[in-house]
Amino acid sequence: MTTKRQLAAIMYTDIAGFSSIMYTDRDLADQIRARHLEIFTRAHRQYNGKLIQQFADTTMSIFDSAAEAVECAYYIQLELRRSPEIPVRIGIHSGEIIQDSRGAYGDGLKIASRIERICEPGSILITAKVYDDIKNHAWISAVSLGHVNIDDLTGEYELYVITNKGVHVPLVQKVRHSSQMTAPVYRQNTYEEAQTDQQGKSKVVAGILALLMVHVGAHRFYLGQRFRAFMYIGATLILAVISAEEGAPFVLFMFLVGLLDAVLFFVMPTAEFNQKYNEGIAWRPTERKNKKLSKKQRRFSFKLLKAAVRKFESQHYEKAVKLLDKVLDVDATNAAAHYYLACAFSKLHDIDDAVYHLSQAMEHGFEDIHRIEKDPALKFVRNHERFEGFRKTYLGYAPTLPPPRPNLLDDQLELSTYDKIEALGERLAAGDLTPEEFAREKTKILKPDPVK
């Protein structure tokens, strides 16, 4: 196949939390993937999209028209909001794509991929290039999130979020300064977490205030609608006077108004509520905070880390990822946890997460470059074209680094003989080892080969 270059609108999609679902309920995961693929295929047929790559729950496709790409993404999100709901992230960028016998690549793909990973479940993020093509669209609407620094990419990118009814619009806090907006730690959130992990006025609070304190217009004060609030108070006073004169409970009419308001708030889509009552959109991706750890937290972190290494050694990589993710919830700067996450994602053939955590390991003090170059667990990463960029960024400066601390991982994570045998036992129980292989590996642990 000859090399083919073209300008296209590039769309990446990903099912949020799919790896966890695969681990907990394989049948449900298969159903979700089948439904996602059916809707995805139907949408691309309708909007002239072309699927280029698919790996597990992640897809990459291209369109000749940016408008058709966004229309397709919107169609997909609306369809996937139907029960049973599937939380999907979608990122779109217009740029060059190169295709040859090795596959598809190019900066355009990299940018679209990063945009998708930053996106919240249920949302559609687009770059400024895409927005320029759709800003005069008859019915698509979008709002700028500001200029954002994105991991692994140079410069800042202005991002927009699609705000049409029915899609999730990430509203968090009013941060417009590009210097304060950086790429997040990429974690898979559920759609419910994305909907509630917000700062600003809440439709639930507004509904409760409407039920309990409608007579003083409390929910309208809460929403910043003072004039309406005073109208509610005035109506309550007028109805109270009429009730007293007529001897009839006309004042109860206000409680019916409050009930109606509450119902409207509760059934209103979160995106629509945010648009109406939170005065614009700002965005803060989910990120871990660096913090000083107490002794108790350090012990807990180490215990989790050791358990994760056991799972990794027994080749239960999904379980290791879940435990290592908990380690980073406690200690976001744990270089060993980042390194083992890179290894686990490498084994799972997830290049984006593997390179990201390998970079984070280096940023937080991991200095065993020889191990990165030779570790069998990282073979998939080293064979990928993205490793060259990582090598230039981190490994190319090896001579200027301070002398590495000896055995950074080994000092922290050296498993006891019991732990190693236990890991072998897990592999035996899972059917990964025969009894003969188990006995042979156990002998190696109990009687290691002498150092030559």
**The pLDDT value given to residue 182:** 36
Q: Are residues 22 and 96 in the same domain?
A: yes
Domain boundary among 163, 190, 217: 190
Residues facing 162 on adjacent strands: 142
- 118 and 170 co-located in one domain: yes
446 domain-assigned = no
Q: Domain limits at 21?
A: 4-190
Reported confidence tier of residue 174, pLDDT bands at 50, 70, 90? very low
Q: Do 8 and 128 share a structural domain?
A: yes
The distance between the two most distant Cα atoms of the chain, rounded to a whole number of Å, is: 104
Sort residue 123 into left (φ over 0), alpha (ψ -120 to 50) or beta.
beta
Q: Are residues 144 and 39 in the same domain?
A: yes
Instruction: Please tell me whether the overall predicted TM-score, pTM, comes out greater than 0.75 for this model.
Output: no
Tokens of 385: 């074209």
Q: Give me the half-sphere count of Cα atoms (radius 13 Å) on the Cβ side of residue 282.
A: 15
Number of domains in the chain: 3
Check if the beta carbon of residue 113 is closer than 8 Å to that of residue 91: yes
Q: How many CA atoms lie within 13 A of 398 on its CB side?
A: 12
At 275-317, the pLDDT tens digits run: 677 654 434 344 444 556 777 777 888 888 888 888 888 888 8
Q: What's the confidence (pLDDT) of residue 64?
A: 93
Long-range pairs, 131-135, Cβ under 8 A, ≥24: 131/158, 131/160, 133/9, 133/65, 133/66, 133/67, 133/94, 134/66, 134/67, 134/70
- Average predicted confidence (pLDDT) for the chain: 78
- My answer on whether 57 and 151 are in the same domain is yes
- Of 10-19, 143-152, 436-445, highest mean pLDDT: 10-19
From CA 228, how far away is CA 181, in angstroms rounded? 36
CATH number, domain containing residue 37: 3.30.70.1230
Do 242 and 116 have their domain in common?
A: no
One domain, residues 179 and 304: no
| pLDDT exceeds cutoff 80 at 30 | yes
The reply to whether 169 and 214 lie within a common domain is no
What average pLDDT does the segment 177-189 reach? 34
- Is the confidence at residue 409, as pLDDT, over 70? no
List the one residue out of 8, 6, 170, 164 whose CA is nearest residue 71: 164
